[in-house]
Structure 1
């Protein structure tokens, strides 16, 4: 079994902290774990977040609390861990907060290091974060039309898949997290995304974080979308989206 998405975000970039995730993976019965961090942790990607800081004071305050580090620190950690004899396979990558305007920067930075995998994820709709419990309802969901938000989200996702910058697409239906639902039929969108994912040979995540982190009733990707992906032969990556070691492998057995 594989847990294909877990974060070092809440701890240091050290071997000791990585080993907490490795040991948790062993305990959870994982054969492989994929460790990453958000691009907002790293100095090289900082220009991607300027628009978000300008879009709202809440976002500016949130981002300015983050301590930025150089990617070289992460790369050094990866080299140290890869030299170790570990009980399970450990892969390293990044979760890129994707926006179409940033394609050139993303391509340039990613080209400088051979990651084992790279996840493209959408966390904002035209510079407004949609998944923050503390303020996303105020700045986005209660301010703009739900259908328009969904349409734009999946438009960005199509662009992200077609960019060929990523090996994996993160939490592809996470817009549902606060139970704002569109009034139009999403099945044609799901079918189009499935065809693109197959054509561009990317994994689509079945991510349990939506369930245990946000309390949504779906254990992972919604069954309709997941069935369409599978019926089109799209590769599925099981993922916990763990942000702390104790969540590694969470519900992976149940969705596998």
Structure 2
């Protein structure tokens, strides 16, 4: 069973192609299941689309859901198309996100922390001039937010849990092991899966999210895993899925999970 639960399309403003392009790419890649999971609108503002190159406008979410459900019917028997979405996690806006997303029949919701202290985790400048102590504090705050997102109960999957290294590879060397271990234990206790996200190769860090070392710790704590390419172009659908499966087996995993109608489906690693 091959699947990819993390794909985007043109509505978010920073991906290429339409939803059909990603489904066709999934079929070409030999997937049995593909999840469409574009970025939620930004619900923390009354504006229709305050960040047009980051997230879709509020009025587009209904169109998005309708299109995915129509394509699900069209491709039935060829590939199982799942309705997902990637939601930002802002503690101060969590309830409005929950209330809004609960109106739609999502198969799963990916919860991702993209901002810490109001600054993008991918902003290289956020690290300039910081002392070692301040860097540790930023990393600990990042993992505190991820822990909160796991406890929130809205998400089945947590997205790219060390993506703060994306444009700052030295993030991995910042000593905050206790914060990481505490977060992994919370994730395990909450029964939320983490994705192995292969889009790190498109950033300065050049690797997967999370790192091999974090996945070893995740396995130790009993954290379940899933797969997502985080494709922003159709050609990346299913990217490096086989290599990820091999690595997970080496660590000791025997299965991974995906979600359909909010229910976990466990399947053996290919």
TM-score tier after normalising by the smaller chain length: 0.7 to 0.9
Q: Distance in 1 between matches of 2:190 and 2:47?
A: 27
Q: CA deviation at 1:75?
A: 2.0
TM-score by length of 1: 0.82
Residues 1:34 and 2:35 are matched in the alignment? yes
Evaluate the alpha carbon distance shift between residue 32 and residue 196 of structure 1 in structure 2; reply closer, same or farther with a 3 A threshold: same
Q: Distance in 1 between matches of 2:127 and 2:23?
A: 37
Q: Is the 8 A contact 1:4 1:238 kept in 2?
A: yes
Q: Is the 8 A contact 1:173 1:222 kept in 2?
A: yes
Aligned length: 234
173, 188, 194: which one aligns with 2:184:
194
Residues 131-170 of structure 1 deviation map (CA, whole Å, 9 limit, x = unaligned): 1xxxx223x2215432221111011111111111100000
Q: CA deviation at 1:49?
A: 8.8
TM-score by length of 2: 0.78
Residues 16-71 of structure 1 deviation map (CA, whole Å, 9 limit, x = unaligned): 9322111211222222111111113x6xx252899xx9xxxxxx7xx255662512
Q: Is the 8 A contact 2:3 2:34 kept in 1?
A: yes
Q: Is the 8 A contact 1:11 1:17 kept in 2?
A: no
45, 48, 53: which one aligns with 1:47:
45
Q: Distance in 2 between matches of 1:123 and 1:89?
A: 29
Partner of 1:218: 207
Partner of 2:69: 79
Uncovered stretches (5+) of structure 2, i.e. residues with no partner: 246-270
- Structure with more contact order per residue of length (Cα contacts < 8 Å, sep ≥ 6): 1
Evaluate the alpha carbon distance shift between residue 102 and residue 79 of structure 1 in structure 2; reply closer, same or farther with a 3 A threshold: same
Uncovered stretches (5+) of structure 1, i.e. residues with no partner: 54-59
Q: CA deviation at 1:86?
A: 4.6
Q: CA deviation at 1:231?
A: 2.2
Evaluate the alpha carbon distance shift between residue 162 and residue 246 of structure 1 in structure 2; reply closer, same or farther with a 3 A threshold: same
Q: 1:143-222 counterparts in 2 under 5 A?
A: 144=130, 145-177=134-166, 178-181=168-171, 185-211=175-201, 213-222=202-211
Q: Distance in 1 between matches of 2:194 and 2:47?
A: 25
Q: CA deviation at 1:194?
A: 2.1
Q: SS at 2:84's partner residue?
A: strand
Q: CA deviation at 1:78?
A: 2.4
Partner of 2:124: 137
Richer in helix (by share)? 1
Q: Is the 8 A contact 1:10 1:244 kept in 2?
A: no
Q: Distance in 1 between matches of 2:240 and 2:11?
A: 21
